[in-house]
Amino acid sequence: MSKTILITGSTDGIGLETAKKLAADGHVILLHGRSADKLAAAASAMPDGASVETYMADLSRPDAVRSLAKAVRDRHDSLDVLINNAGVYGTAETVTAEGLDMRFAVNTIAPYVLTRELLPIMGRGSRIVNLSSAAQAPVDLEALTGGKRLSDGAAYAQSKLALTMWSRSLADALGEDGPVVVAVNPGSLLGTKMVKAAFGTNGNDIGIGVDILSRAATSDEFASASGRYYDNDGRRFAFPHADAQDADKRESLMRTINGLV
């Protein structure tokens, strides 16, 4: 059965290749990017006959995230899959207009806001797939709220653990009647633009990440995986960083995030 799937950050890398695969499988693909030119190029790269829509938004801006969600809701009564793929590591602008670290803003807060704004059109059979990472570090709440500056690596690792933690919290809050919410490490050092810029390596085959994201979006193995974390380095469901298992730390994080949004 054809599904309607929104993939953020889908104008290059894993996002684009996952969009191509899911489009080839017959699904309706909602592409997202920051550039009109890149969105047009991504749409033209889809398989012949694919059903594709394009949405432009700067995820570092909360108002743009909410506008993106509204644009999707205006065109669709239901959304089957949201893949929160967009992310940043090193960036020229490390602080947003609101004074937040760009990594926390794009990697943690934007997908949370987008997810909450789209929940009204996502039901029990829907799925929310959040792109986590093997890089996970304890979250400094002062840094999350913009009161402390971090290195690229520290900000990225903390933002990805924060994403993994809110994935578990949201899954618990929604329960069995809500969409499946999973956090997925698509694989370490895959050959994306981000990896090449950060580590100076061509990286591993991004098809590794495309495969797991496609499975997380549509396969039966993820149908009852809400609240879980999939580590594609080990090719299995696994435990993320210990802080994600700590209910008190998750609650503290959620209070802080909700205070920001």
pTM for the structure as a whole: 0.95
Among the residue ranges 106-115, 148-157, 187-196, the one predicted with the least confidence is 187-196
Q: Which residues are CB-neighbours of 42 under 8 A, at least 6 positions away?
A: 10, 11, 12, 16, 19, 31, 33, 54
Cα four-point dihedral sign 14, 201, 161, 220: positive
Domain boundaries, the chain: 4-260
For residue 230, which of 169, 171, 186 has the smallest C-alpha distance?
186
Catalytic hit among 55, 89, 112, 156: 156
The answer on pLDDT for 196 being more than 60 is no
Which of the four pLDDT bands, split at 50, 70 and 90, describes residue 1?
confident
pLDDT value at residue 206: 87
What would you measure as the largest C-alpha separation in the chain, in angstroms? 50
Task: Please state, in angstroms and rounded to a whole number, the distance separating the CA atoms of residues 148 and 157.
Answer: 15
Task: Please state, in angstroms and rounded to a whole number, the distance separating the CA atoms of residues 140 and 146.
Answer: 10
Q: Is 156 a catalytic residue?
A: yes
Assigned fold of 4-260 = Rossmann fold (3.40.50)
The answer on pLDDT for 12 being more than 60 is yes
The answer on pLDDT for 189 being more than 60 is no
